[in-house]
Amino acid sequence: MEKGKTIIEGFGLKRYYQRGSETVKAVDGIDIVIRSGEMVSVLGPSGSGKTTLVHLLSCLDAPTGGSLLVEGVSVEGLSEDELAGVRRKTMGFVFQKFYLLPTLTVAENVELPLLFLRKQPDRAATMEVLGQVGLEDRAEHLPNELSGGQMQRAAIARGLIINPRLLIADEPTGNLDSENSKSIFDLFGHLVRDKGISILVTTHNLSLGRLANRVITLQDGKVVKEDRF
């Protein structure tokens, strides 16, 4: 994809819900653009709206206000099956928890999304993705034979196997120590620079967040600052 091309655009995004008599404004009128070939960090304390925003941008939740376009097409009114198709076409996902199946090898865990898409896994392509995350020598290992950092790298490879335009990582270093956390963000930077993928990552860690091209800081569901590096 051409660098700088818009992947996701959100205009006036809102996500409100009721908690008793209180209206919680988890996301409160956010404008955001994610372009190809960039890494964007979303920072903010717990309760600032980071995860809710990511769920809106990844079509896992519907906004209560505003509009969302994915590759120039509005997703408003799409069915759940159609939204799933948008995700499969455009996005890969990485989570704080690794969600690796313990009885499958690393390679088999990486190939799982292909099975859900009814695509035949290509072991050569799997090994190429594992090489991108530095795990080609762990392909036949089980998850319990990996370190925490290696397990997250395997989860990242699983997100990359479908060749997404955008990798969405929600608190991907939340279960890792500082050294492994830094290595994961270094890997993200490599994927952006050398592979042209875009990455949207949420984190509590300011120093890690600043390794991105752009840093969006949230507070009380609003963007309070945006920095470019």
pLDDT, mean of residues 134-145: 96
Please answer whether residues 69 and 75 qualify as being in contact, where contact means their C-beta atoms are separated by less than 8 angstroms: yes
DSSP string, 167-211: EEEESTTTTS-HHHHHHHHHHHHHHHHHH--EEEEEES-HHHHTT
**Placement of tokens 């990455």 in the chain:** 199
| Residue 31 maps to a domain | no
| Residue 71 maps to a domain | no
Confidence of residue 194 (pLDDT cuts 50, 70, 90): confident
Residue 3 has pLDDT above 90, yes or no: no
Q: What is the pLDDT of residue 9?
A: 97
Confidence of residue 1 (pLDDT cuts 50, 70, 90): low
Q: What is the pLDDT of residue 79?
A: 93
Residue 2 has pLDDT above 80, yes or no: no
Residue 35 has pLDDT above 80, yes or no: yes
> What are 38-50's pLDDT values in tens digits?
999 999 988 899 9
| Residue 122 maps to a domain | yes
Give the count of domains, the chain. 1
Please answer whether residues 185 and 137 qualify as being in contact, where contact means their C-beta atoms are separated by less than 8 angstroms: no
> Domain range holding 88?
38-51+80-228
Residue 95 has pLDDT above 90, yes or no: no
Q: What is the pLDDT of residue 70?
A: 96
> What are 171-192's pLDDT values in tens digits?
998 888 898 899 999 999 999 9
CATH of the domain at 43: 3.40.50.300
The whole model's pTM is what? 0.90
**Placement of tokens 């997100």 in the chain:** 159
| Residue 124 maps to a domain | yes
Q: Which two tokens stand for residue 141?
A: 């290992």
| Residue 8 maps to a domain | no
Please answer whether residues 48 and 221 qualify as being in contact, where contact means their C-beta atoms are separated by less than 8 angstroms: yes
Residue 31 has pLDDT above 90, yes or no: yes
Residue 94 has pLDDT above 70, yes or no: yes
| Residue 56 maps to a domain | no
| Residue 117 maps to a domain | yes
Confidence of residue 4 (pLDDT cuts 50, 70, 90): confident
Q: What is the pLDDT of residue 117?
A: 84
Q: What is the pLDDT of residue 118?
A: 85
> What are 55-90's pLDDT values in tens digits?
999 999 999 999 999 999 999 999 999 999 999 889
